[in-house]
Structure 1
Amino acid sequence: MIIKSTLQLLAAVALSGIIQAPPGQARKNHDGQWHISSLRVEAAQQITQGDGVIVAVPDSGVSPHPDLQGSVLPGADVITGAGNGYADKDGHGTGMAGLIAAHGSGAEGALGIAPKAKILPILCSPAGQDGETDALAAAIEFAVNNRANVISISIVSGASARLQRAIEMALAADILVVAAAGNAPRSDIVGYPARHPGVVAVGGIDRDGSHAAFSVTGSEIDVVAPAVDIYSTSIDGKYRRGTGTSDATAIVAGAAALIRSKYPYLPAQEVAHRLTATAVDKGPPGRDDEYGYGVIDLVAALTADVPPLGFESVSAPATTADARPDDDAGSTVRGLATLGVIVAVGVGWAFVARRRRRGDDPPPRISR
């Protein structure tokens, strides 16, 4: 569907703030992967790099990129029913894949958290169009049927019945589901599927390690990760910078891939427990609504002696779908896009999240 005139105006304003980096600044951009040093990624990668783990990325697809060469499996386009998920038109999905599994080296490359993990790309949110909310459900179903170990969802959604069933199917299949909490001001509560019980809900922090002002808060937040000015891969072999809980979610999904590689027989719920039990506490002592259990600690998650969790729920009690307003069961909004802008280095893309559809509009949608 064509973007409405008001959103076109917002997009034009957003574009005026995009920073284009000339090729000569590539080294600076790569050195600017501040989350790599902050999370001690290189130390964690001395232990494992995600071998043998498949991370599904339901998003805008994943474009071929030198830093992802050999890391992207044939996936699916659940919108058209044809294609392998490689037709990314806006770079968001490619950026998320890069944060998880890019293996770029040298001055210009981007490094992911788990560079030896495999990405399963699933196109469920095409550029410039509305997609059905159930497309996300179809993407999750595809991930379950294609042996994914982790599903990284950088989308905030309404809780349709099919989507709820798909999430339950993934959890029952021992897949770790990681999802973005959402970004203010577009959202004021933790979105779906992040608030679904058993899903790891991810919030964001800034360069100072403080709660990112846009990151939605709530009792469902499990952990937080870097979410501001995050450098990663983009379409056409280029690079991008993004800000939002989308990026934090992909980073946590990469961390989960490391754990699943190091402990291949550990149930998904215990993997989530490792993430929360070893997180670096921030804010008030113990779990809180801004930081959850704290900032993920990759090295501790891979090495600490963590007592078993048992079969308790990963997340705090979540709001049920039945308690949500009727219109919230509708469209989904990409977590990163809810902040308004993606700064794409050398690309110049910007995206504005669409408002939820109301009244007599068509059925539930994935909104972008």
Structure 2
Amino acid sequence: MTFVFASFRSRIWAAAIVVPIALSLSALGSPAAGADKISDGQWYLNYLDVSAAHKISQGEGVRIAVIDTGIDPNHPDIRGSVEPGVDVRQFPASGDGLTDDDGHGTSMASLIVGHGRIRGIAPKATVVSLKYADSVSSSPTAMGSAINWAVEHGVKVISISAAHVDRDLVLQQAVEKAILQDVVIIASAGNKPEKSAIEYPAAFPGVVAVSGIGSDGQLWSSSVTGPEVLLSAPAKGISTAWRDNRRVVTDGTSNSAAIVAGMVALIRAKYPTMPATEVIRRLISTATDKGPAGRDSAYGFGVPNLVAALTAPAVSASAGRSVAPSQIAPTRIDAPGAEFPLRTALFLGGGCLTIVILAVGLVVMVVRRRRPE
């Protein structure tokens, strides 16, 4: 039995179309048919030459925070590769994040560390489950709290396959803090028609915003595009793990972000002391250019060439396809009110100074009048 459904997740998550195709413990319909669909949905492995990349690195020792709907650690495709995290939906945060009543978080985890029927990009890495949402609700503030938790617990790669229209201050400051702490954050660009522009956190400077492509290497028609896009990666017709020991085929830039997060894990495993900005430069400087020459709003710098990213010599900051450091990471953390225009700040500062001068003058006049003759 094969069917397509769309739920509330289509308004939150970047993977909006889900086609269940097989159970891991009991097949639906013909097992051979299910196996074929699973294989077809892993076209990204050959497209990205993942087997060659695995001869160089498999993500050993790297922890990736998956900020999502939680992760089912017992799914056979990811069992043994999931680390407890936390559920940040309530304050104070509690639990371990190891429940997934939606399926999306488990799906993303399998693209990163899958080592069963579903094969991920970094099978020897570990995903840390940070549950910030469920099937019916999510919050950008909770997402920011999850990022802060990841930074405080030493995680150096964060994968986010979700987007919010609000430029939430907690989320913004958490992103900036993470980047300044040498963390690589990867986020999905979003899907049409639910999204029409790149939202947050992908829209924040320093975040690796990823658009989606199909198996033909061309932009997926439902991928959101915009000047924030840095890279593009497989999105359409991707097989993944799902809740209740299922496997599904999904469309969405959620997949693209998780796949790039796995790539970052491979690079960080091979080059454990390489700064985050250099990890990103390595990916973009070796990417296969797509669309118009150079960076564009559809593909960014192109589709990562994983083997080249793992084997290329040190990337010069002045290389023609590199980006300025200010595009990769912020140089400061904005405090509340830091976005006031300069003229506003000068006006307020001048007004305060005037008030102080008047107050001092008034005190002096009162004192003088009270002096005895």
Q: Which TM class, normalised by the smaller chain length? A: 0.7 to 0.9
Matching of residues 144-293 of structure 1 within 5 Å:
144-157=151-164, 158-293=166-301
Report Cα offsets for 1:272-299 as digits up to 9, x if no partner: 1111111100111111111110011110
Query: Equivalent residue for 1:90?
Result: 102
1:205 & 1:267 partners in 2: Cα distance?
Answer: 28
Contact 1:220 1:316 (C-alpha < 8 Å) held by counterparts = no
1:224 & 1:173 partners in 2: Cα distance?
Answer: 25
Query: Equivalent residue for 2:126?
Result: 118
CA separation of 1:16 and 1:290: change in aligned 2, threshold 3 A: closer
Query: Equivalent residue for 1:74?
Result: 84
CA separation of 1:17 and 1:199: change in aligned 2, threshold 3 A: closer
Contact 1:225 1:248 (C-alpha < 8 Å) held by counterparts = yes
CA RMSD of aligned residues (A): 2.6
Question: How much does 1:188 deviate?
Answer: 1.9
2:18 & 2:121 partners in 1: Cα distance?
Answer: 29
Contact 2:144 2:171 (C-alpha < 8 Å) held by counterparts = yes
3-state DSSP class of the match of 2:199?
coil
Question: How much does 1:217 deviate?
Answer: 1.2
1:307 & 1:272 partners in 2: Cα distance?
Answer: 10
Report Cα offsets for 1:323-354 as digits up to 9, x if no partner: xxxxxxxxxxxxxxxxxxxxxxxxxxxxxxxx
Report Cα offsets for 1:298-340 as digits up to 9, x if no partner: 10110112423387134599xx999xxxxxxxxxxxxxxxxxx
2:172 & 2:240 partners in 1: Cα distance?
Answer: 30
Contact 2:21 2:249 (C-alpha < 8 Å) held by counterparts = no
Query: Equivalent residue for 1:59?
Result: 68
Q: Which amino acid aligns with 2:44?
A: H
CA separation of 1:299 and 1:16: change in aligned 2, threshold 3 A: closer
Query: Equivalent residue for 1:312?
Result: 325
TM-score normalized by structure 1? 0.78
Out of 37, 42, 50, the position equivalent to 2:46 is 37
CA separation of 1:119 and 1:280: change in aligned 2, threshold 3 A: same
1:120 & 1:273 partners in 2: Cα distance?
Answer: 25
Report Cα offsets for 1:28-70 as digits up to 9, x if no partner: 1332210011000111011010001110001000012111111
What is the total number of aligned residue pairs between the two structures?
Answer: 306
CA separation of 1:116 and 1:271: change in aligned 2, threshold 3 A: same
| Residue segments in structure 1 that go unaligned for 5+ positions in a row | 1-6, 323-368
Contact 2:141 2:171 (C-alpha < 8 Å) held by counterparts = yes
CA separation of 1:261 and 1:103: change in aligned 2, threshold 3 A: same
Report Cα offsets for 1:97-140 as digits up to 9, x if no partner: 00001111xxxx10000001110001101123x23321101111
- Whose relative contact order is higher, 1 or 2, with alpha carbons under 8 Å and at least 6 apart? 1
CA separation of 1:16 and 1:60: change in aligned 2, threshold 3 A: closer
Structure of larger gyration radius: 2
CA separation of 1:217 and 1:256: change in aligned 2, threshold 3 A: same
2:270 & 2:213 partners in 1: Cα distance?
Answer: 26
CA separation of 1:17 and 1:89: change in aligned 2, threshold 3 A: closer
User: Which piece of structure 1 moves more, 117-126 or 302-311?
Assistant: 302-311
Matching of residues 338-349 of structure 1 within 5 Å:
none
1:279 & 1:314 partners in 2: Cα distance?
Answer: 17
Report Cα offsets for 1:123-164 as digits up to 9, x if no partner: 101123x23321101111111111111000101112111110
Query: Equivalent residue for 1:46?
Result: 55
Q: Which amino acid aligns with 1:149?
A: K
3-state DSSP class of the match of 2:249?
strand
TM-score normalized by structure 2? 0.77
3-state DSSP class of the match of 1:179?
strand
Q: Does 1:101 align with 2:113?
A: yes
Identity, % of aligned positions: 44
Query: Equivalent residue for 1:302?
Result: 310
3-state DSSP class of the match of 2:178?
helix
Report Cα offsets for 1:236-286 as digits up to 9, x if no partner: 222111111110000000000000001101001110111111110011111
